[in-house]
Chains A and B, each alone.
Chain A
Amino acid sequence: MPSPDRTDVGRSIRSRLSDLRTRLVGDTGDDESPVRTDGGATVSRGSAGTGLSDRLRSLRNSRFVGSLPFWLPPFLLMGLFVYGAIGWNFLISLTDMEGFGDPDYSALDFQQYAELFGSEAFINAARNTFVLLVAFTVLCLVLGLVLAILLDRTLRLQNTFRLVYLLPFSLSFVVTAQLWAWMYDIDNGIINSVLSLGGLRPDWIGNPQLVLGAVIFALVWQFSGYAMVVFLAGLQAIPDEHFEAARIDGASTITMYWRVIIPQLRGSVISALVVLMIGALKAFDFLYALFGQYRPAAGADILATLMVREAYSNQHWAYGSAIAIVLYVLALLVVIPYLYSQYRRGAL
């Protein structure tokens, strides 16, 4: 079809439409006049004198005011109890508050932070936190992925096995910590009972070289089921044809997973990663339950336990607050890239 015809048709339709509009609304303004569809069009447009009643009406009709009852209460609650508390905590960390009595807000400085970064205990705890974070997260992801792939391959329809691996995740930290405390017991624990057959008797919890590894192992045991479920959901969303196409394309099982399937699990990896890393940062309850006190065995002190110990055992409130802020910044470092990637993909 030659194009001039088409534009003629287009023009005549447009001119007929504008005729129609002129007749209907008497508006002869040009085509570009904005069309308001949000119901606010009747307000204020063309009204010369904006009296008080007009302004009230516009206020009542505005979307912002209308939506207030829906978002304002949770906004205030979150603002006060979460972000307000964080702000206050930061303020305290700038004072020298210790022991009983009110903080002195007149002299604010970063002295606590300076002390913190110079303290060996803090450096130690930070290093342990980092090791725990990385080792725990990586092991959980790998183990979870392997379990998910095995389950997806052989037992696509059987939910029982999924439950078996997920069960530890449903248990409380306190319960699993007690369980592992018994397992790791140097004399009566089941692990050493087995190892003693070979003449070994490691002190899992007492030995500073072993204790962090033992804690990581126990946490991985508890969390890998979660990672597995996340991966399994991701795997089952991949159509069979992708596996088949890869087989026809000549990929071996390993290259098929490595090049075709696992890259498609990017979303699952990110979700699992964030939950696991946050879990590692706040592993305080597990350690507290495992050792029964604020002070874990040497070699297993992490920022979370150090923070609680400084604040509640030693009543170094300002110092504890400073540790809390450091921990908070670490958590932000984990969450912000996630939120940013979600935002970039338009999922937020």
Chain B
Amino acid sequence: MAELSLDGVTKRFDDGGNDIIAVDEASLEIDDGEFLVLVGPSGCGKSTTLRMIAGLESVSSGTISLDGTVIDDRQPADRDIAMVFQSYALYPHMTVRENMSFGLEESTEMSDDEIRDQVESAAEMMGIEQLLDRTPSELSGGQQQRVALGRAIVRSPAVFLMDEPLSNLDAKLRSQMRTELQRMQEDLGVTTVYVTHDQTEAMTMGDRIAILDDGRLQQVATPLEAYHEPANRFVAGFIGEPSMNFFETTVEDERLVGENFDYPLSEETRADLGDATDVTLGVRPEDIELVDTNEGDGEHDFRTVVDVVEPVGSGNNVYLAFEGDESASELDMDESRTFVATIGGLRRIEAGQPAIARLPEDAIHLFDGETGEALHNRNLDDTETIEPQL
């Protein structure tokens, strides 16, 4: 079927004499039928990568191949791909049927009858068969989205390329379409490259996710790998909501010394650090435990004051400041002074209340302070026991 592979793909834009590198040596293997999500902040090069695969941008160096055939120099129409645009790009003067037929009319030798059959079956699959004779302006956003998908499906391409297709939908519809899109992709088994800036979409939809930052591929992994074993600090901070907490520390003997705390390390963990001196300690909000003020005196327990509580129903996001850290409670504090813990939704906690935060050693991530490389990731051996205990 269709295996897509990118080998050292680079895109340079010429900006008045100085080159801007939008995508830097990206190499990726996408298996047949795989759903790969390209995710990253805006301007990271994810859309450019997708557009290079589509043939809408030229490749500065490196090769893109489909099933072993290099397709760099082919016209977009000859690449056996279909693309779904963020704005849907439906042709406003054509009916839904004409929109869906257009690609088949232009790129195949099919007869009108065959085209009609194919369009109708694709429309049925997307549940838009009753909309076929309307124009895009008569459709709601969700319906337009379906038509845009239908227009891609009808061509039965080897690869689907999707450029933030859900970002123009409202939240409710977006999560609904997310599931539907996944189901559709599974049914069709078509290799899909999906671009998004939304890490939730990336986590929930992708078979694997490729995280990009500043034109560089940071990590390609399954969603859970990226979540639990991030390759570097960027990935750790990008994946997960609320974001992982980071503390800048220096290594002193067997301890990490931060601005507000000392964090003793076990021998095992210490060994992972090697000779790094500046280390970033990372811990996910749900791994931080809030324990009773009279029982928390362990070496990984820290006295804190609750700064802000954000209830989200299923849980509470609690922003904590280290006790005695005066600057943390000032109004103009920057966010890095507080850190966030997620606790159960039924537990009541209020701003100003003292709390003991426990940062379990088997849940911490350590990153090199200079390069951001992961030196130590959390322990996954006994996943059961480190479930949040609140």
Contact = CB atoms under 8 A, between A and B. Distances in A.
Interface of A: 239, 241-242, 244-252, 255, 259-260, 263-264, 266
Contacts of A249: 77, 102-103, 106-107, 155
Given A241-B85, A244-B56, A248-B83, A266 B107 contact: no
Contacts of A248: 54-56, 76-77, 81-83, 103
A239 B87 contact: yes
Contact of B85 (A244, A251, A252, A266): A244
B376 to A, nearest CB: 45
Given A248-B76, A248-B81, A242 B89 contact: yes
Interface in B254-313: none
Interface string B84-95: 011111011110
Contacts of A263: 91, 93-94
A105 B111 CA distance: 71
Given A247-B76, A248-B76, A249-B77, A266 B93 contact: yes
A104 B94 CA distance: 59
Contacts of A266: 93
Nearest to A256: B106
A93 B323 CA distance: 98
Given A263-B94, A264-B91, 10 more contacts: A245-B89, A246-B91, A248-B54, A248-B77, A249-B103, A249-B155, A251-B102, A263-B91, A264-B92, A266-B93
B40 to A, nearest CB: 21
Per CB-CB distance, the 7 closest pairs between chain A and chain B, nearest first, are A250-B107, A250-B77, A241-B89, A249-B103, A250-B106, A245-B89, A263-B93
Interface centre among A242, A246, A249, A266 (most CB of B within 10 A): A249
A244 B161 CA distance: 13
Interface residues of B, number: 23
B106 A245 contact: no
A254 to B, nearest CB: 11
Contact of A260 (B55, B56, B91): B91
28 contacts: A239-B87, A241-B86, A241-B89, A242-B89, A242-B91, A244-B54, A244-B83, A244-B85, A245-B91, A246-B106, A247-B76, A248-B76, A248-B83, A249-B77, A249-B102, A249-B103, A250-B103, A250-B106, A250-B107, A251-B77, A251-B102, A255-B106, A260-B91, A260-B102, A263-B91, A264-B91, A264-B92, A264-B93
Nearest to A249: B103
B389 interface: no
Nearest to B91: A260
Contacts of B155: 249
Nearest to B86: A241
- Chain A interface secondary structure, helix, strand, loop or mixed? helix
B56 A247 contact: yes
Nearest to A238: B92
B200 interface: no
B75 interface: yes
Interface centre among B75, B81, B102 (most CB of A within 10 A): B102
A247 B91 contact: no
Contacts of B55: 247-248
Contacts of A252: 106
Nearest to B152: A248
B77 A247 contact: yes
Contacts of A245: 83, 85, 89, 91
A260 B77 CA distance: 16
Given A250-B103, A250-B107, A266-B93, A241 B87 contact: yes
A250 B81 CA distance: 10
A239 B93 CA distance: 14
A306 to B, nearest CB: 42
A252 B76 CA distance: 11
A34 B94 CA distance: 42
A246 B55 CA distance: 13
A11 to B, nearest CB: 27
Contacts of B76: 244, 247-248
A264 B103 CA distance: 18
B106 to A, nearest CB: 4
Given A244-B56, A245-B83, A251 B89 contact: no
Contacts of B88: 241
A244 B89 contact: yes
Nearest to B107: A250
Nearest to B51: A244
A14 B87 CA distance: 41
Interface centre among B55, B75, B93, B107 (most CB of A within 10 A): B93
